[in-house]
Structure 1
Amino acid sequence: MKPPLLLVGHGTRDEKGVADFMAFVERLDRRLDDREVAGGFIELSPPPLTDAVGELYGRGHRRVVSVPMMLVAAGHAKGDIPGALIREKERHDGFDYVYGRPLGPHPTMLRLLAERLDDVLGTDSDPAGESAETGAAGETAVLLVGRGSTDPDANAEVCKVARLFQEGHAKQRGVSFVEPAFISLAWPSVCEGLDRIRRLGARRVVVLPYFLFSGILPDRVVDESMAFAADHPDLDIRCAPVIGDCDGLADMIVERYDEALAGDIRMNCDTCVYRIALPGFEDKVGAPQTPHHHPDDPAHGHGHSHGHAHGHGH
């Protein structure tokens, strides 16, 4: 048997988002008959990561491969999850782990985004890049909406995904251009992104949430998009679904598991604010990382953390 796969999610107060994550854990468990699979969250919702680790530890496992269910390498993947895993090492004698990298702008992820775009456009997409009604180029655009972060490296990665998507899958579908936006913590907002697309001349916009599962923030993306559409009836604004529980996402996780187990984790640390003194973020270099507060974790049962601070590691 291979070491167990431990999936670590962010957590959400949205019940459907929790159900999506757990269904995905079950999908991988059915698919991988040579290893056990468990999953937990670092905040907001049960089951907490500590329960998932305790479950595997109780079955006799002392080494696991942990893969963060994160699209970008922001604070959760860089600090919160490693900090929580180190805390589990302190709780469980002999426990150890190998930590994989976030999913990132993987070719499979770009394909999955293209499938979500097709879900919305259907036969409306035009390989020639022209509108069937007007014959005008630039009729359709995509707004790729990420979560947003205070980490410039993470925000830049969303912009990279938007550009890669524009150069490949979007172009093949007759989409004129792809713009990035964020639902929180970063600029441009959803409304600002939609307004930019409108001013650039597009008349049909597909809002493509860059999220794995359902949740409060993806719902907010839809709400803000529809509110903008109501104020701009000249625009045809359509919202695509999130990536969701699917085989393509499972393929990516298995790949991240294999490379972590082999020690082949190709993280780009050249723009990481915890390692490199980027202008405006010099104070973050070497900053200690502490696990998130989680009300379902025994260490946080009284509203305060007993966890230790740990340095940033990939």
Structure 2
Amino acid sequence: MSAYLLVTHGSRDSRPGLVMQELVTKLQSRGVPCVDVANLELASQPLSEQIQDFAEYVWSLGYKRVVIAPLFLLAGVHVMEDIPMQVEIAQAGLAGKVEIEVKTYLGAYSGVEDFLRRICQRFVDDNLYGQNISQQLLILLAHGSRRVDGNTAVEALATNLNGLTAYWSVTPNLESRLAKLNQEDTSVTKVVVVPYFLFAGKITDAIAASIDALKLQFPTITIYQAQPLGLNEGFADLIWDWLVDERK
């Protein structure tokens, strides 16, 4: 039997925590009896101690294996360096009592593309139904990583969705994408921005504010903003499928 520890970034904003509480409840109802949440940052304990405490607890219940499931969308420093380091510290403290497995981060799971495709189609159906599809463009707006190849997966994802990428923390940003579009492709008059973030929070609020300003800056382009992934119908199903997928 496996117990699951969902690892998120952590936030001072209460909204991600509420989504995670709801997610845990739904996973438990789906047949994952032992599942909890840990935060990489902004928690009262380091992640290593959260992992060790959870492992000790589930060991007392008879579990011999803990799956660490990183709810991250990009292969940045957190996924490639910070989480593995914290897991290694926790493993040393457990001294082999419980097997620890780190699942491949959520953004690498193939089901994310299908989930995004459904989100985009539903959004277009609700907001752009019957309008000329050749005038529409999808922009997947991710946080972005400065790590070499850290944005490769999201670039491929946007290509598969017939869209473009833009980034919050690295280039190209949304403004530069729209400026280039405004200069080079006047046929596109409607842009759907899909925030490639799991939860609403400080950054998505800032994205919404920037989009309001960009609407004034580019009056010939109608800009729509979809919701972060975790606020869409079917998010719990996506996480369930990811957790039970036998591939790491």
Question: TM-score if structure 1 supplies the norm length?
Answer: 0.68
Once residues 235 and 112 of structure 1 are traced to their aligned partners in structure 2, the CA distance between those partners, rounded to angstroms, is 26
The residue aligned with 1:86 is 88
Correspondence list, 1:193-208, <5 A:
193-199=177-183, 200-201=185-186, 202-208=188-194
1:254–1:124 CA distance, 2 compared to 1 (3 A): closer
Contact 2:51 2:87 (8 Å CA) reproduced? no
Name whichever structure is richer in strand by fraction.
2
Partners of 1:9 and 1:221 in 2: CA distance: 20
Is the contact made by 1:105 and 1:160 (CA closer than 8 Å) also made in structure 2?
Answer: no
Aligned partner of residue 217 in structure 1, secondary structure: helix
Give me the whole-angstrom Cα distance separating, in 1, the residues matched to 2:83 and 2:3: 17
Larger radius of gyration: 1
Aligned partners of 1:73 and 1:248: how far apart in 2? 23
Note the C-alpha offset of 1:110.
2.4
Counterpart pick for 1:179 among 132, 153, 164 = 164
Q: Which amino acid aligns with 1:152?
A: V
- State the AA in 2 paired with 1:162: A
Deviation track 1:249-281 (CA, whole Å, cap 9, x = no partner) reads: 44443444345xx5x43xxxxxxxxxxxxxxxx
- 1:17·1:214 contact (CA, 8 Å) conserved in 2? yes
**167, 190, 200: which one pairs with 1:214?**
200
Counting only pairs closer than 5 Å after superposition, residues 42-191 of structure 1 correspond to structure 2 as 42-45=40-43, 49=47, 50-51=49-50, 53-59=52-58, 60=60, 61-93=63-95, 94-104=97-107, 106-121=109-124, 122=126, 124-126=128-130, 131=132, 138-166=134-162, 178-184=163-169, 186-191=170-175
Shift of 1:241: 0.3
- Cα deviation code 1:38-88 (max 9, x no counterpart): 111100246864335414422424420111111122221111111111221
User: How far apart in 2 are the matches of 1:198 and 1:47?
Assistant: 48
Amino acid at match of 1:30: S
Q: Aligned equivalents of 2:225 and 2:165: distance in 1? A: 14
Q: How many angstroms does 1:160 deviate by?
A: 0.6
Instruction: Please provide the CA RMSD for this pair.
Output: 2.5
After superposition, the Cα gap between the structure-2 partners of 1:244 and 1:48, relative to the gap in structure 1 and judged at 3 Å, is: farther
Post-superposition CA distance 1:261-309 (Å, at most 9, x none):
x5x43xxxxxxxxxxxxxxxxxxxxxxxxxxxxxxxxxxxxxxxxxxxx
* Structure in which a larger fraction of residues adopt helix: 2
Secondary structure of 1:38's counterpart equals strand
What letter is aligned with 2:72?
M
CA distance in 1, matches of 2:139, 2:127: 19
Supply the distance in 2 between the matched residues of 1:147 and 1:28 (Cα, whole angstroms).
Answer: 27
Superimposed CA distance per residue, residues 159-202 of structure 1 (whole angstroms, 9 cap, x where no aligned partner): 11100111xxxxxxxxxxx1100011x21012112222333221
2:239 matched to 1:253?
A: yes
Native 8 Å contact 1:119 1:240 kept in 2: no
Deviating runs (4+, > 4 A) in structure 1? 45-48
Percent identity for Structure 1 against Structure 2: 24
8 Å contact kept, 1:108–1:248 = no
Provide TM-score, normalisation by structure 2: 0.85
Query: Structure 1 counterpart of 2:113, which letter?
Result: L
- Distance (whole Å) between structure 1 residues aligned to residue 144 and residue 41 of structure 2: 17
Partner of 1:12: 11
The 3 A distance-change label for structure 1 pair 224 and 4 is: same
Secondary structure of 1:244 counterpart: helix
Q: Distance in 2 between matches of 1:152 and 1:76?
A: 13
Indicate if the aligned counterparts of 1:101 and 1:256 stay in contact, CA closer than 8 A. Answer: no
Q: Provide the secondary structure at the position in 2 that maps to 1:154.
A: coil
Distance 1:221 1:123 in 2: 19
Query: How many residues are paired up?
Result: 240
> How many angstroms does 1:97 deviate by?
0.3
Kindly provide the amino acid, as one letter, of the partner of residue 14 in structure 2: E
Q: Choose from 217, 228, 233 the match for 2:219.
A: 233
